[in-house]
Amino acid sequence: MSNGLARASVRFRPASFAGTLIALLLGAAVVVACGALLQTGLTVGVAPQRYAGAPVVVAADQAVKISAKVGRDTETRELTTPERARADAALVSRIAALSGVAAARPDSAFPLPAGAGTPALTGRGYAALGIAGPADKLVEGRAPGANEVVLDADTARAARLAPGASLTLTAPGGTGAYRVSGLAAAQSAGPTAWFADATADRLSGHPGRIDAIAVQPREGVDRAALAAQVRQAVGADAMVFTGDGRGTVEQPAIGEGRTLLMALGGTFGGYATMTAIFVVMSTVALATGQRAREFALLRAIGATPRQIRRTIATEAMLVAPVAGALGILPGLALARWWFDELAARGAVPQGVQLDVGPLPMLAAILTCTLAALTAGFLAARRPARLRPGQALGAAAVEPARPGTVRTVIGLVFAAGGVAAAVFAAALDGMNAANTALGVVMCFMMAVALLGPWVARIAAAVVGTPLRAGGAPGSLAADNTRANARRLASAITPIVLVTAFCGTLLFLQSTISHATGENVRNGITADHVVGSTGPGLPAGTAERAAKVPGVDAAVGVLRTAAVYEHSQQLASATALGVDGDPARLARVLDLGVRGGSLADLGHGDDTVALDVTLADALDAKVGDRVSLRLGDGTPVRPAVVAVYDRGLGFGQVLLPRAAVAGHVTAGYDSQVLVADAPGADRAAVTAALAGLAGPGGTTVTDRAGFVAQSDKMMELNAWANKVMAGVLGGFAAVTAANTLVMTVLDRRREVALLRLAGTTRRQVRGMMRWEALLVAATGLVVGGAIAWIALVPIARGVANSSPYVPPALALPLAAGAVLLCLGATGLPARALLRTRPVELGAARQ
């Protein structure tokens, strides 16, 4: 009987299941999209191109690793290095001496910006020519000498350069004039300049360190034997790669892309999946609760509780898999858009493809089915347990108050949210940020379970003002008080939209506001010298300091440092300071709390820390701190200063000489210049513009300084907006869906009001006031949740209170109000177009 009832319900009353179908479909789409990103992160790989002809490649480990105690077990935790890690060049001779090795070619690449008549090039040592295969070889001229260069033939022809011609090239290690000694054919290298190996080592900016070693076997030595020999020879000094692992060496950004994809697909996917389950269960429970009379009638005619539960289970099995399957294509479209946007922003290396497998699709269908089953069973628990003789009477009246178990669990979640918020207040910024969505989820579960109480409180607070608004307001006040459960089901999605979007968007606005304030107050330089190319080469600050009228010139090289905190690895933005650190105060006011930035240059083993990072490391002036430079090199510098304004500049300040050899490309980002008293500013500006950097030099005043956040911060900002859009859009559609369902379920109520003499205008006014009550309650409760989650993050990250810009808050509030008014007003107008007698007789 149960299966037949379920099929008949779905077949003859499809409108009753439309809301459930929409919620399940959207939930499946979100799960599929996040699952596809997670799967791509787990399986990401790129086939080698440049190293395709070298069966074995040796390179440094591109991850920092630590061992952490978890209970009785020890886990290895790792973080991809912010800069490219490099191996010791001495390994080349060690590998070349092996019996199975025919050739071991060192390979390093460094950018050469476009110059007069030449495009942007990649600089390499001449020993790297031929790594890609026999086709890469010298075709004209001879190998380069000390001040010579070999160009690839295509670039030389395009620039009209031949052997014997001269050109000026800028590298991280300096700028110089070079004679073209020959031309080479290199199909896979792109525009390339090959220098003598000693020259390339100097120009690379990281002498004695190389990117990789391509190893060729002797005749008769297979790949496995060669790899074993090389692995034994290098030991722990480097890693040995074969197969597709060689593609990772070519594109070390794959590790960072893998981390980002796994974070988005895993962490955000986990929250998104929980949200989807939460919303789906709420919608299914509402749809099941609206059929309380139907289940009561079945109980009255003898249906057993088991038959009621089987009917609901069968309905879920009929609707949920179909909705999950329909959500696959939208989910894949969302994943494709998401992935393409990440690739366009450089977060995913070229060549990586979105991995679309069956697991995310199966997970989506299974998740939706289990959520629908669970919600249906919970919603039908009350009508299934009623005695047959009391079923119809009990179903006609809303329970006086929520069940004790539901209330207790809701209070537990509320207490958990408060405890999590208090705990987050004691954490540093990044750890506090990681707890934010957990705090939101705890409070959301509390709101969902305690929703009727929230609705009753809201109705009591606004009841008196509503009654002062005439008949529509009085009707709205009485309805909301008598039907708190129905009101709660409409409030909960609005709370969800406000809490999630508010937390994610206002977190970003707080960081952006604090960064802008720091930059405006911290830049005291009169000029900011930058470059339209990749940056400024070493020595630019020294040349700028010699310009007449300049009092101080300090260069900044942007990089990152890795630190360990609470058995976790994290990265911090860092600046390598070039120039006299005693003059740093002339161009930057970082709000020094202790020590002196003038001591930063007293040896390469000194460091200044932002106060937030210093607190996280429990460090003060005079202490030594354990850090790792951008490429993973461990250092223990002495803290010489602690300052306030790290956000927007850098959390770590180090001498440039300490970091220059440990970055991917050693170009300064800017040079900050202060004029001497009485100097002619226009003359100084013109002279600084003559410092021709790679790609051209730009000179602006302090107002033109742009805080260049590291790539991960920019990606986090974009990811927060996308998360807010996905979760907010999902919750907004579900909120509209829920409101429409609750209005359409009030056919009999509207009919009775019309038959009692209530006018259409009064009914619309009642609905309008109820919608405004739903919007106001959702905004207030959701805003309070967002604020509680944001306070510890704002204090930890920006050392300020959350910043809520009106230009962002007002549209969010207006959107919630318009959503409630539209989702309530449109179905209400549809109901009012039907005659009251026909409406009251309509099938529920």
* Non-local CB neighbours of 408 within 8 Å, separated by 6+ positions: none
pLDDT in the model for residue 543: 87
pLDDT in the model for residue 692: 60
The Cβ-side half-sphere exposure at 60, using a 13 Å CA radius, reads 23
Q: Which residue has the higher pLDDT, 121 or 372?
A: 121
Q: Residue 180: pLDDT band by 50, 70, 90 thresholds?
A: very high
Q: Residue 27: pLDDT band by 50, 70, 90 thresholds?
A: confident
**Mean per-residue pLDDT for 183-197?**
84
Is residue 65's pLDDT more than 50?
yes
Closest to 538 measured CA to CA, from 660, 683, 426: 660
- Residue 675 β-bridge partners: 550
| CA–CA dist 391, 382 (Å, integer) | 10
**Mean per-residue pLDDT for 610-621?**
89
Reduced to 3 states (helix: H, G, I; strand: E, B; else coil), residue 690 is coil
> Any alpha helices (H) in 353-428, and if so which ranges?
358-385, 391-395, 404-425
Report the percent of the chain where pLDDT is more than 70: 84
pLDDT in the model for residue 333: 92
Q: Residue 400: pLDDT band by 50, 70, 90 thresholds?
A: low
pLDDT in the model for residue 1: 47
Is residue 776's pLDDT more than 50?
yes
Helix (H) or strand (E) holding 458: helix 451-467
Q: Which residue has the higher pLDDT, 841 or 832?
A: 832
Mean pLDDT of the chain: 81
Q: Residue 469: pLDDT band by 50, 70, 90 thresholds?
A: low
pLDDT in the model for residue 407: 82
Is residue 153's pLDDT more than 50?
yes
| CA–CA dist 284, 234 (Å, integer) | 60
Is residue 132's pLDDT more than 90?
no
Where is mean pLDDT largest: 9-23, 208-222, 315-329?
208-222
Is residue 391's pLDDT more than 50?
no
pLDDT tens figures, 512-538: 888 878 888 888 888 888 887 778 877
pLDDT in the model for residue 429: 58
Q: Residue 188: pLDDT band by 50, 70, 90 thresholds?
A: low
**Mean per-residue pLDDT for 127-147?**
86
pLDDT in the model for residue 474: 75
Is residue 227's pLDDT more than 60?
yes
Is residue 624's pLDDT more than 90?
yes
Q: Which residue has the higher pLDDT, 254 or 18?
A: 254
The secondary structure of residue 582, as a DSSP letter, is G
Closest to 661 measured CA to CA, from 287, 206, 219: 206
Is residue 399's pLDDT more than 70?
no
Q: Looking at this protein, which amino acid is placed at residue 648?
A: G
pLDDT in the model for residue 231: 92
Closest to 242 measured CA to CA, from 210, 208, 217: 217
Q: Residue 229: pLDDT band by 50, 70, 90 thresholds?
A: very high
| CA–CA dist 753, 476 (Å, integer) | 12
Is residue 201's pLDDT more than 70?
yes
**Mean per-residue pLDDT for 692-716?**
65
Closest to 560 measured CA to CA, from 67, 13, 83: 83
Q: Residue 844: pLDDT band by 50, 70, 90 thresholds?
A: very low
Which of 393-402, 761-770, 799-808 bottoms out in mean pLDDT, i.e. has the lowest?
A: 393-402
Closest to 705 measured CA to CA, from 515, 513, 523: 523
Q: In Å, how far are 13, 103, 381, 750 from 484, measured between CA atoms?
A: 26, 79, 19, 17
End-to-end CA distance of the chain: 21
Q: Which residue has the higher pLDDT, 727 or 154?
A: 154
pLDDT in the model for residue 723: 79
Where is mean pLDDT largest: 188-192, 317-321, 438-442, 581-585?
581-585
Q: In this structure, are residues 726 and 341 in contact, taking their beta carbons and an 8 Å threshold?
A: no
Q: Which residue has the higher pLDDT, 483 or 785?
A: 785
Q: How far is CA 177 from the centre of its chain?
A: 44
Is residue 825's pLDDT more than 90?
no
pLDDT in the model for residue 709: 47
Query: Around Cβ 838, how many Cβ atoms within 10 Å?
Result: 10
Report the percent of the chain where pLDDT is more than 90: 19
**Which tokens go with 840?**
């009251």
Where is mean pLDDT largest: 528-542, 552-566, 734-748?
552-566
| CA–CA dist 279, 355 (Å, integer) | 28
Q: Residue 212: pLDDT band by 50, 70, 90 thresholds?
A: very high
| CA–CA dist 60, 577 (Å, integer) | 26
The Cβ-side half-sphere exposure at 343, using a 13 Å CA radius, reads 14
pLDDT in the model for residue 74: 73
Q: Residue 608: pLDDT band by 50, 70, 90 thresholds?
A: very high
pLDDT tens figures, 566-605: 788 888 889 999 888 888 888 989 989 989 988 887 666 8
